[in-house]
Amino acid sequence: MQSSTSGATPSLHVAAEPIPTPPRLPVLGNLLQLPRGRLTQHLMGVAPDFDGIFEIDFAGFRVPFVTSAALAAELCDEKRFRKIVKPPLSILRALAGDGLFTAHQDEPNWGKAHRILVPAFAQRARRAYFDAMLDVAGQLVAKWEASAGAPIEVSEDMTRLTLDTIALCGFGYRFESFASAELHPFLQAMGRVLDETMGRLTRHRWLTRARFMSNRRYDRDIAEMHALVDEVIRERRAHPVQSRDLLGLMLEAVDPVSKEGLDDANIRYQVITFLIAGHETTSGLLSFVLRLLLEHPEVLAQARDEVDAVLAGGRTPEYDDLGRLDVIDRILKETLRLWPTAPAFAVAPFEDTLLGGRYPIARNRQVTVLLPSLHRDPKVWTDPERFDIDRFLPENEAKIPSAAYKPFGNGQRSCIGRQFAIMEAKLALALILQRLEFECADGRPTAAIRETLTLKPDGFRLRVRRRAPGRAAAAAA
């Protein structure tokens, strides 16, 4: 019996069976098996032992993980399932409150903020962000040109790029991250908070409570981040500008449904949300892209040829050029298939239900979709570990089941800034390919991955050099 997707609730006594789980200990469950800092990778290793679903016991908090496209299709039915905020997102609420990403479905500010902010990511608005994006991407390339021959920490510089981009485009604020060898204190604080958030997920509650110094640092980091954002809001209120950026919208716009605006506390949480989501995921994407291109020089050559043709003569990119970067678009999509930098999303059923006609899921129980494994479902993807950008040629992409590829989440709670992120990544990658040659600083790219709320290559360093003058023009000719 297949479970209904019409919203009807099947009987939990028909063909019901327990969700399979790896061997576990009494009381602690699977907690001692979960490596700190490698949770997603551990779960990816567990997934092939099960048929699309398994359960992990976090010391009494049991979470089913789904890796099958067929089961994910049911979970993406918003008539049956809704997004739920549980760990790690519920832990992050200390920092991001009821911002878009961490808000509960029934919190009024989620609906108000979503309706107010959607226009900020429409095509017309994205075009208005282009010059600021180009400014920051140019700073990245200039820094790399000046560092020719020296090892470059890729993920760190991509973090600088994406934080400065979302801050400038969204809030008119310049972190000036490329002006210093050290990451901005805001970024350092954010990194520590995200590390601690994931640490609390794989640590028993009493151990977290006993870490007095770490907890004080965690609280202080959050307070300092809130203080900086509150100052940005106060400064904008004191000196209004003619801008329809994210901050301008949140300060001035009124929700068309409730006829209310957002208060300053919620605006703070929305700014924090965009700074986290707007830089963490895109920086990881760009870092993975460069690593994969080095591992696949034939694709790197294909991308460089496209950039040389679209930006013939080495000219500066313009907004309309981005739509002509088809190879780069497919590179980004295939990278997000293998390494979706936000690696999971969680939902819960409105009512008791059977998943796949077999597995009982109680009302409000969290079910997590593990995206790197979903994107490797062998029933959908041929040779799923292979990096193959032709999967996203139009005729092939049309055949991919919608639930098999979810790098930006699902439905009304999917990432509101996904087109902004792709635009930013396309532009940055085009500039890098146009102006720089690069190679791995350590002989070959390491396979190590750093996990916080997102995934990034760890220890990945490049050496770069300027492309020879006239080379791009000759290639275009």
- Among the listed residues 77, 73, 87, the one whose alpha carbon sits nearest the alpha carbon of residue 31: 87
DSSP E strand stretches across 409-467: 436-440, 449-451, 455-457, 461-466
Given the residues 65, 415, 438, 452, the one annotated as active site: 415
Rounded to whole angstroms, the Cα distance separating 75 from 72 reads 5
Single out the residue of 107, 116, 153, 157 nearest to residue 137, CA to CA. 157
SS3 450: strand
Catalytic residue among 408, 420, 438, 460: 408
Active-site residue, 274 included: no
* Cα angle 11, 16, 19; round to 5: 130
* Chain length of the chain: 477
Mention every residue, 6+ apart, whose C-beta is less than 8 A from residue 237. 251
Is 415 annotated to bind ligand?
yes
Judging by DSSP bridges, how do beta strands 367-370 and 61-66 pair with one another? parallel
281 is a catalytic site residue: yes
CA 332, distance to chain mean position in Å, is 13
Catalytic residue chosen out of the listed positions 273, 281, 368, 452: 281
Q: Rounded to the nearest 5 degrees, what angle is found at the Cα of 421, between the Cα atoms of 229 and 115?
A: 65
- Residue 352's contacts (CB-CB under 8 Å, 6 or more residues apart) are 9, 12, 360, 361, 362, 363
Q: Which residues are annotated as a binding site for heme?
A: 415
Q: Which residues are annotated as a binding site?
A: 415
Name the residues annotated as catalytic. 281, 408, 415
